[in-house]
Amino acid sequence: MNNENKDINKASATVQEYLIDLDVDIVGIVSLEDIKGSKLEEQALKLLPETNSIIVLGMELFPEILDLTRPERTTGAASSNTIMEGQSSYIRGKLTWVANDIARVAKKAGLKALPIPAAGYPYDARFLEADISFKDAAIAAGLGQLGYNGLVLTEQFGPRVRLTVCLTEARLKSGAKTSERYCLDCNICIAKCPAKALDYPGKDDVYKINKYACSTYMTEAGGCWECVKQCPVAREELT
């Protein structure tokens, strides 16, 4: 092993150790060695050419708050959706803070790193597509699988999570990718979608969504969380 490899392995161990006690709910790791040729690898390297690993961070959206949300709003009337907006803002801020802390640790260890903000990340409005997919990263890190609602379903929280990532030069090992499919095929998200943006997936699809219908409805309604709120995965009271 040459000195360069010794140095990067030592620095990577520093980053790995820092991840143990992070103040978030779920943490996953994707080694680019395990996703060669994928779109996710292409996205990561475009943002940070030195990327060796993607660190995925997630925090729970409280079901107690989600249950208060409504997919419609009366002009001038009080809306409990603002409570959800407040929690979402806090979670996104916390995730962004933690991602930046990880990047600082990596930088101090002599490694390059790029924290991606949980809100305000690079986004192509023409195709409603982010420059790096948090969902793909979470799945590759073994944190969950896609459901009919097009969201990552996690074992602990179902779809009730917010995500972000930190790209790093550190060489870290990928988490074990889960083969378990958490979606219950209950179709509740499809039936309850007020925008009619969800539909039954085709033979070769995991989910089917009209992203433009979803985005337009969310904008005009002042927010919508029905496909998150109604999902029974990891919520015994809904099953």
- pLDDT, the chain, mean: 93
Q: Is the pTM of this model over 0.75?
A: yes
pLDDT at residue 176 in the model: 82
Within a domain: 221: no
Structural element, H or E, at residue 18: helix 3-18
Tokens of 145: 């699988």
- DSSP lists the bridge partners of residue 22 as none
Within a domain: 211: no
pLDDT at residue 4 in the model: 60
d(CA 161, CA 60): 4
Within a domain: 196: no
Within a domain: 239: no
Share of the chain above pLDDT 90, in %: 81
Between these two residues, 22 and 203, which has the higher pLDDT value?
22
pLDDT tens-digit series, residues 87-138: 999 999 999 999 999 999 999 999 999 999 999 887 888 988 999 999 999 9
Within a domain: 85: yes
pLDDT tens-digit series, residues 198-232: 999 988 899 999 999 999 999 988 889 999 999 99
Q: Following CA atoms 65, 87, 57, 116 in sequence, which dihedral angle do they give, to the nearest 10 degrees? A: 140
DSSP letter at 173 equals P
Within a domain: 204: no
Angle between the 81-108 and 3-18 helix axes, to the nearest 10 degrees? Answer: 150
φ, ψ (nearest 5 deg) of residue 165 = -140, 160
φ, ψ (nearest 5 deg) of residue 68 = -85, -15
pLDDT at residue 111 in the model: 97
pLDDT at residue 6 in the model: 53
Q: Please state the domain count of the chain.
A: 1
Between these two residues, 130 and 176, which has the higher pLDDT value?
130
Within a domain: 225: no
Within a domain: 218: no
d(CA 137, CA 222): 28
pLDDT at residue 1 in the model: 45
Residue 188 near residue 226, CB atoms below 8 Å:
no
Tokens of 30: 């994707």
Alpha-carbon torsion 62, 63, 68, 69, what sign?
Answer: positive
Residue numbers of the domain that contains 33: 3-181
